[in-house]
Structure 1
Amino acid sequence: MKARSIFRMILAGLLILTVLTACAPATPQVVEKVVEKPVVQTVVVTKEVPVEKKVVETVVVQEKRTQLSFAGHQYFNMSFGPAPAPLEYMRQVVAEKYPNIDIQLIMQPLDANKWHDNLTTYWMAKDPTVDLVYVVGYWITEFAEAGWLMPLDDKIDPALLAKYDPAYLDIFRHNGKLVALGPAWGGIGGLYYRKDLLEKYGLKPPETYDDIIAACDTIRKDNPDLGCWDWPAMRNVVLVNRWSEFLHGFGGTYFNKDGTCAMNSPEAVKALEFMTMLFQKGYTPQEALSWKEEDANVRFVSGQTIFFTGRQDLLFWIDDPAKSKIVGKWGFIPNPAQPGGRHAGFPEFWAFAVSAYSDNPDEALKVLELWGSLPTMKNFNLAWGPIQGHSDVYTDPDVLKANPNLPLIEEIAKTAIPPLPSANYGEITDLLQAQIHSALSGQISPKQALDDACAAIDVIEKGP
């Protein structure tokens, strides 16, 4: 009985166990299975591959600057009219067309003798740093014969040269070769007179030198404090210029046909005797023996003298009330002449030239053409007044407006005489200055002064 009970308990336990096992979750099974699936993978491979590549590289090249030296005077920094000072404008036109070129002014003394000597010193040393020079017509023979100036005929634009009056260009030729371009400015001597005073006393403008003396004697009877005739007589090349006018006015000339000095002829002696008499009798003040051109016009524009011999540039401001006390009271005529003589005005025509020793000749020629062109010549006219060589200057409306006295200047220009024709110009004029000034100062007689001068000049020109 007991055994049967144990059997039943075991059987029930098995039954319960079976039921519990059926109700429990299934045990997971590990199953190995191969599945094929495509995989996308990026692989970076480093490899050197030659590649052609164009590289554009901008290289900035510094343009070479050229400095040109110009031998001129202090007036290039001054303007006396409605235009910039010439040097300012000259630099401006160069900078506009040739920005790599700079202009440096080598300041020269106003004394023409010292200026001449400076230029001579540069060239005798063959100084290559002097490129452009401002020269006067009476130096041309000397400078060109020495080979110091570059010939220009085949180097300047023919169209530009065609704008210049041949008579002006001839002043700057030597043996047919053009060596300077101008004038950029020019002075020519004439006689200023007090028109109001001559009209008051019923006198005509003087034709002869004797007419001047007669007019002074008449007017000064009632005006003893009034001066007669002022002109520059300083021992300077300007004295030789004035002497040349007196010389031709009395019928004299520089040289005889055989090349010997003619400046001690009877006509020449009379001319210097007349000049000396002006100082002896007070028609010209003793102070004039130390006057330059600029000093000599002071008394005339101040209304203190009746006559004045000088250049035409005074016309540029003689009617300016701020500078002149004789506005509208003056006249300007050719210099007088005695019977047998000629009305003569000495031309001081200045031009630009290129030094034969310049180390920048091509650049200097480019600048020379610009300075000889109409715009620059017009600026010279408006800054300094006439005379300019470029013909188009005289049809420019601005020039005509600023120069109402151009017709007077044209009449004076007709009396132009040539400068003393000698390659020894500097030496001869130095000699003449000394001898003429000594005569005017009363240190030596006019005849002795001219005899001594001619004897020395013949030695210079022909040799002992």
Structure 2
Amino acid sequence: MKKPHTLAGTLLAALLLAGTAPHALADTKLRAFAGGSGQRPDLMRKLFDQYQQRNPGVTIEVETGGATSELQRQYLGTVLNAKDTSIDLFMIDIVNPAQYAGANWVEPLNAYVGEPAVALKPYLPAYAQANVIDGKVAAMPAFADAMFMYYRKDLLDKHKISEPKTWDELAAAAKKIQQAESDANLQGLSIQGAPIEGAVCTFLLPYWSQGKELNDASGRLTLDKDAAVKGINQWLSMVDQGVIKKNVAEVKTPDTVNEFKAGQVVFAINWGFAWDRFNSDKDSKVSGKVGVMPLPAVAGGKSATCLGGWQWSVSAFSKNKAEAAKLVKFLASPEASKFLAAEGSLLPTSLAVYQDADVLKAVPWFKDAGAVVAAGRSRPLSRDYGQVSDVIRTSVSAALARTKKPEEAVAEIESRLRRVMR
């Protein structure tokens, strides 16, 4: 969706004002790792350009890479474990601050942004909680994310079907539409079953909606095995009904986006960035036909969604920590959040931006998105999150591939996580 030129100009002017005051600097080169396409490094480059205009002594280089959160985590883990000084600041998933701080890979930001209670007060509680480790600000929020249920509004309207509230209702609605449309390529529901980070959420969504918790306040495992098996069986039941395709264990985040965009899916679970792809990409066949709703629940349960989002951290090995921290403070500002929301449909990390008139004019669906994000659930905030993620996603993918029974997959998750989440 092309945004009004006047709005873009207003936002860029505001960003200039949000930068640090002009001051004489020795030339400082900063290198930022801005993730993959899902983190919109193209928009981050525009923010960097604005910062450079306000701070003429600073030059910012951008490094990108890694199509998924785990690939980015693997790369950064290699770089930071080697104490490489080439990267000054980097973007990380909401699940990573505890892990990175525990490994002493990030520079505490208290001295640059203030104490946690003040520095993170404007942000949604989940982001304030995730970014403060042992009383130290380990990262600052870049933009939020959450899993949404996207659906073909035109098809539900055509077949006079209301938004389903439970997974069983969704399966019935999808099956009805598939049969009526007589399109062999039309999937009822697309979820991520490949052994990627999205599969962690695929496991948690039906589990949480039964009112269950994976861990307690201290981080200890509280897995309800029966509920976990029921959740996996919920997905397998939809595979057997022809609602979810049989090779679900191979489906990755971009696959869901591309197939829904091509008009081949009725319902799709995906992250917030997908909205812009569905409605703005030139090759999208569903532009203007997309609806968004809260995720369904297991019968008798309550809707729950998986919270995501990205944060900026300063490398503990940077030779330009003070300047990198100033840049991070700028990137986490309300003005930067407003720019990313209006220009790229990237979800804000503070409720105030969801209510901004300019943002709502550019991205009307944010009117309802704020409540979904605010009520989102966070994956375990563990110093060993890499292990937690690996256990869940590989076991769940195996169950969806039917190389393991759900009971075996859940038993494996419990056994391995008990050693990690103590």
- The question of a shared fold, defined as TM-score above 0.5 by the shorter chain, is answered with yes
Which of 121, 134, 140 aligns to 2:78? It is: 121
The 1:317–1:125 alpha-carbon spacing in structure 2 relative to 1, beyond 3 Å, is closer
Residues 76-115 of structure 1: CA deviation (Å, up to 9, x unaligned): 8958xxxxx3233233223223222221223331222221
**How far off its partner does 1:301 sit?**
3.0
Contact 2:94/2:310 (<8 A) preserved: yes
Matched, 1:75 2:33: no
Aligned to 2:173: 215
1:297 — aligned with what? 257
Provide the residue aligned with 2:339 in structure 1: 379
In the TM superposition, residue 392 of structure 1 has moved relative to its aligned partner by 5.5
Quick one: which of 181, 189, 202 aligns to 2:147? Answer: 189
**1:40-90 Cα deviation digits (max 9, x unpaired):** xxxxxxxxxxxxxxxxxxxxxx963222221222438958xxxxx323323
User: For the structure 1 residues 109 and 305, does the alpha-carbon distance in structure 2 shift closer, same or farther, using more than 3 Å as the test?
Assistant: closer
Question: For 1:168-183, what aligned pairs fall within 5 Å after superposition?
Answer: 168-182=127-141
The one-letter code sitting in structure 1 at the alignment partner of 2:171 is I
CA contact (8 A) 1:65 1:102 kept: yes
Is this contact kept in 2: 1:89–1:376, CA < 8 A?
no
What is the CA deviation profile of residues 19-47 of structure 1, one whole-angstrom value per residue up to 9, with x for unaligned ones? xxxxxxxxxxxxxxxxxxxxxxxxxxxxx
Aligned to 2:14: none
Report the residue type matching 1:212 in the other structure.
L
Corresponding residue of 1:57? none
8 Å CA contact 1:89, 1:379 repeated in 2: no
Computed over aligned residues only, the root mean square deviation of the Cα atoms, in angstroms, reads 2.7
Q: Is the 8 A contact 2:305 2:377 kept in 1?
A: yes
Residues 274-317 of structure 1: per-residue CA shift (max 9 Å, x gap): 12233344221134432322220233233332211112223335
Letter in 1 for 2:360: L
Asked if structure 2 preserves the Cα contact closer than 8 Å seen for 1:185 and 1:384, the reply is no
In terms of mean alpha carbon deviation, does 213-222 or 391-400 score higher? 391-400
* Structure 1 partner of 2:412: 452
For the structure 1 residues 185 and 422, does the alpha-carbon distance in structure 2 shift closer, same or farther, using more than 3 Å as the test? same
Structure 2 residue runs of 5 or longer lacking an equivalent are: 1-23
Helix, strand or coil: the match of 2:96? Answer: helix
CA distance in 2 between partners of 1:77 and 1:341 (Å): 33
Task: Quote the offset at 1:324 in angstroms.
Answer: 3.3
What's the offset of the Cα at 1:174? 2.0
Q: 2:399 aligns with which of 439, 442, 460?
A: 439
**Alignment match, 2:96:** 139
Determine the structure 2 residue equivalent to 1:49.
none
- 1:306 aligns with 266
Identify the residue that residue 43 of structure 1 maps to in structure 2: none
Per-residue CA deviations over 1:188-208 (Å, capped at 9, x if unaligned) read 112122333333433321111
* Compared CA separation, residues 344 and 296, structure 1 to 2 (3 A): same
Report the CA distance shift for 1:282/1:400 in structure 2 as closer, same or farther (over 3 A): same
**1:199 paired residue number:** 157
Q: Is the 8 A contact 1:276 1:446 kept in 2?
A: no
Alignment partner, residue 95 of structure 1: 52
- Equivalent-residue separation in structure 2 for 1:78 and 1:267 (angstroms): 36
Contact 2:45/2:62 (CA < 8 Å) preserved in 1?
A: no
Q: How does the TM-score come out when normalised to structure 2?
A: 0.84
Between stretches 132-141 and 339-348, larger displacement belongs to 339-348
Distance in 1 between the 2:299 and 2:64 partners? 44
What CA deviation, in whole Å up to 9, does each residue of 1:108-166 have, x standing for no partner?
31222221122222222222332101011111221122332222234216887554344
How many Å apart are 1:340 and its aligned residue? 4.6
Structure 2 partner of 1:106: 63
Structure 1 gaps of 5+ residues are 1-61, 80-84
Name the CA distance, whole Å, in 1 between partners of 2:378 and 2:27: 41
**Partners of 2:211 and 2:90 in 1: how far apart?**
35
Aligned counterpart in structure 2 of residue 324 of structure 1, from 266, 269, 284: 284
Q: How many equivalent pairs are there?
A: 395
CA distance in 2, matches of 1:245, 1:397: 32
Q: Secondary structure at the match of 2:383?
A: coil
What amino acid is aligned across from residue 318 of structure 1 in structure 2?
F
CA apart distance, 1:327: 4.0
**Is the partner of 1:138 in helix, strand or coil?**
coil
* Cα distance in 1, alignment partners of residues 51 and 251 from structure 2: 37
Q: Which amino acid aligns with 2:237?
A: M
Maintained 8 Å contact 1:269/1:447: yes
**Deviates further, 204-213 or 163-172:** 163-172
1:241 counterpart = 2:201: yes
Look up the match of 2:370.
410
1:64 matches 2:26: yes
**How much does 1:391 deviate?**
5.5
Q: CA deviation at 1:321?
A: 8.4
Task: Go from structure 1 to structure 2 and tell me whether the alpha carbon gap of 1:264 and 1:319 turns closer, same or farther (over 3 Å shift).
Answer: same
Q: Tell me if the contact between 2:304 and 2:377 (Cα under 8 Å) persists in the aligned partners.
A: yes
Q: CA deviation at 1:256?
A: 5.8
CA distance in 2, matches of 1:257, 1:349: 21
Alignment check: 8 A CA contact 1:302 1:324 kept = yes
Counterpart amino acid of 1:69? R
* Structure-2 change in CA distance of 1:244 and 1:405 (3 Å): same
Give the letter aligned to residue 73 of structure 1: G
1:214 CA displacement:
1.5
- C-alpha deviation, 1:444, in angstroms: 0.7
The alpha carbon displacement at 1:377 in A equals 2.5
Query: Which of these residues, 194, 202, 212, is aligned with residue 252 of structure 1?
Result: 212
In structure 1, distance between residues paired with 2:341 and 2:245 = 33
SS in 2 for 1:218: helix
Find the aligned partners of 1:190 and 1:210 in 2 and give their Cα distance: 18
Q: Which residue of 2 aligns with 1:347?
A: 307
Between stretches 439-448 and 233-242, larger displacement belongs to 233-242
Report the identity percentage.
24
What is the identity, as a one-letter code, of the residue corresponding to 1:294? P
